[in-house]
Structure 1
Amino acid sequence: MSESFDQINPPPRLLMGPGPINADPRVLRAMSAQLVGQYDPAMTSYMNETMALYRQIFETQNQWTLLIDGTSRAGIESVLVSALEPGDKVLVPVFGRFGHLLTEIAHRCGAEVHTLDVEWGQVFTPDQIEDAIKTIRPKMLAVVQGDTATTMLQPLEELGAICQRYDVLLYSDATASIVGNAFKADEWGLDAVSVGLQKCLGGPSGSAPITLSDRFVDVINQRRHIEAGIRDAHHQDSQGQIIRSNYFDLPMILDYWGEERLNHHTEASSMLYCARECARIVLQEGLENTIARHKLNGDAMRAGAEGLNLKLFGDQANKMNNVLGVYIPEGVDGEAVRQSMLLDFGIEIGTSFGHLKGKIWRIGTMGYNARKDAVLTTLSALENVLRRMGHKLPQGEGIDRAMAVYNGEAS
């Protein structure tokens, strides 16, 4: 007898960790729209609209602004595997877990990877990065803007000019930070950017918007010509390397999104609807308003956490607007708190990675959940759980301090 299964019916959760978060209901509705063929004029029109929407999200004029089908890691891998050849030098400033991810993927591309390291909870100065570039002379600087493992936001504003001085490609993974914090691809001189939907954009994981400068596209298109030469029997002595991945071969993907619509894969239509709606919602609210909303609710959560007698983690001058790190109080079982929050109150908060695992909690205010009621509900539940577990705190202070931020009364 075959085993039967019930319909999927996940428990109601308020996801207030570092991501993923609860998707905006409008995004879920868009994902349920009927499918059409990948070359149907309606579909190609949606693709063009999605490109136009994400140019505004990235604040860029880049023609090649599109989606990679896959999670945010797919976007990272498409950029690195398409640009990096074996032996290319890459510089990765590591200030959290996701710098290590860039390092690992670059190693898998055969690159010669150099890292800068800083204590988790801190970020790099432009001078530190420029000094390393002068010494290493990399082909690419690959940097995370916001790392949810540490809640830190690496300033990027001066890096583009530095990279241009030394003819270095500048790539940033801005998955955790985009639309919750300022990001100006053209003004800051970015050559490639990749993100995901499951943080401040208010969607599920599964599509990776990217944008590529003309300079970056020229670099990856050189490998297209090398590949053609290697396949030609008269060019077997070519020293170049073809792009090792078919799925993440950006020149082929650009042909698919371009006017020729050359077949590369079948577009993930429901995720395209989803990504389009995520961007449409942000732009309907206004990009600056969306960033301001994340800052307001992030500030309220931070003030509330201090009201709960929790010590903040990391350099607060360089913290992301949308995620907060707090030390787990001495004598408190951090995992027991998280379990009670989840099972008793239906609220998820996160722990961290590596040497920070079990030492801090990470509390997110991002996307659809960057709103007043979600912040106040989370603080109220956390106060109750902490009090029952013996943490000393002034009753009601967390909510009061958060309300002071919302009322414009906080200093």
Structure 2
Amino acid sequence: MASRLIQALRRAQPLTTRGYATVSNAHLPPVAGVIDVPQRILMGPGPSNAHPRCLAAMSLPQLGHMHPPFLKIMDDISEYLRYIMQTDSKYTLAVSGSGHAAMEASVANILEPGEKILVGVTGIWGQRVADLSARFGGDVVELNAGLGETLSFESIKNAVETHKPKVLFLCHGESSTGTKQSLEGVGALCKANGCLLIVDTVCTLGGVPIFADEMGIDVIYSGAQKVFGCPPGASPFFMSDAAMEKLQSRKTTVATYNMDMKLIGDYWGWYGGRSYHHTGPISNFYALREALAITAEEGLENSWARHQAMYELLWEGLTDAGLEPFVKKEEDRLPCVNTITVPEGIDAAALCGFAMNKYNLEIAGGLGPSAGKVWRIGIMGYNAKPMNVNLVVTAFKEGLAAQGFKK
């Protein structure tokens, strides 16, 4: 048998002589071998360093995306999300994609062409949702806050009652400006005005208290790579019963097949069965399942308390270094992503470079409206521990001293 195979291989004509051009080594990459990735401490606005359990989970064997053991992992994700989002709704899942994909899913499924959406803009993510909503044919009305500020309940109430939108969007944690938007009373306001509430929790879910049902939220989307300390690629998503009723009663088909929750929900078992929609990111689902399990094992209240404690430790050190928060009102500050005012005369980029060169530590600059005005420090998930926070403070003190800064 083996000798016949060898003889057949010897007789076989090379593929390159069968009418094809000869392979050119000019297209051979100059570098080959094992990938080389540096070790870095990611204390910017995300991604954060992944928990070792999440990384280990990604090395587990692949399963078929419709195999019962894999469907069980998907069910685990849904169950954990119900706990972490504090909801009884069965409409929880992980979108196959980054937080941007989940953002798009929230708008695409709830907003129909010609319907009015009121978008709270407190930074770049509100601006992004306004853009996205217009692309799906929505009638977009922006409600803007000042830079480093949040929207008051009174301004939200007045805008809802004046414009009578079908959908209201708010960003719970605006990572570009470091603000935390209060949601108190907004759900009830929306319900009283026939309006659905979408909330971005990409950098707050698991690190800041949120109660989907109690707060009257209709759609939540988040990301894996922030508080959950998980590689990006599978993003938490939730719909209330009211949001599902809106989806099922649409007059138009959801404009994106890839994010159509009528179809994806069936893959996740929302409607009683299971049908193929797409190949889920198997290894990413493994990692997210572990990340959610880690959060559940710690307990939500303990996770919230840990992130708050590390936020306080950070600002104790930064204040001692002579630095000031960009967000003036303490109740508006986002514990998970902190914005620090760049003092006059200080080269912000040089300090970031100093931290990276000396400590392999990421300190990020501003984004969108805060570009050039702030540094941004993330305290999220696996990174939210004293060792990392103290290193950030040390890097700031040394980097500022190198530029001659005196508090």
2:404 partner amino acid: G
Residue 9 of structure 1 deviates from its aligned partner by 2.2
Q: Which amino acid aligns with 2:352?
A: R
Deviations 1:216-245 (A, max 9, x none): 11111123xxxxxxxxxxxxxxxx322111
| Counterpart in the other structure of 2:268 | 257
Which residue of the partner structure matches residue 281 of structure 1? 294
SS at match of 2:364: coil
The letter for the 1-side match of 2:254 is I
Aligned 1:7-406 pairs, distance under 5 A: 7-223=34-250, 240-258=251-269, 259-314=272-327, 315-393=329-407
| TM-score calculated relative to the size of structure 2 | 0.91
The residue identity in structure 1 corresponding to 2:333 is K
Contact 2:232/2:284 (CA < 8 Å) preserved in 1? no
Q: 1:261 to 1:219 in 2, by over 3 A?
A: same
Q: What is the one-letter code of the residue matched to 2:237?
A: I
Q: Which amino acid aligns with 2:308?
A: K
Q: Which amino acid in structure 2 is aligned with residue 63 of structure 1?
A: K
Letter in 2 for 1:205: P
Contact 2:147/2:369 (<8 A) preserved: no
Q: How far apart are the structure 2 equivalents of 1:78 and 1:331?
A: 43
CA contact (8 A) 2:66 2:276 kept: no
Q: How many residues align?
A: 377
What's the CA shift string for 1:358-394, capped at 9, x where partnerless?
A: 111011111111000001111112211110111114x
CA contact 1:302–1:324 (8 Å) conserved in 2: no
Partner of 1:401: none
Bigger CA radius of gyration = 2
After TM superposition, where is structure 1 displaced by more than 4 Å over at least 4 residues in a row?
Answer: none
Contact 1:140-1:171 at 8 Å conserved across structures: yes
SS at match of 1:251: helix
SS of residue in 1 equivalent to 2:289: helix
How big is the shift at 1:336? 0.8
TM-score (norm 1): 0.90
User: Any idea what the Cα deviations from partners look like across 1:119-154, whole Å, max 9, x if unmatched?
Assistant: 111111111101101111100001110001111000
Kept in 1: contact 2:123–2:368 (CA 8 A): no
Structure 2 gap segments, 5+ residues each = 1-24
Q: CA RMSD in A?
A: 1.1
Where in structure 1 are there 5+ consecutive unaligned residues? 224-239, 394-411
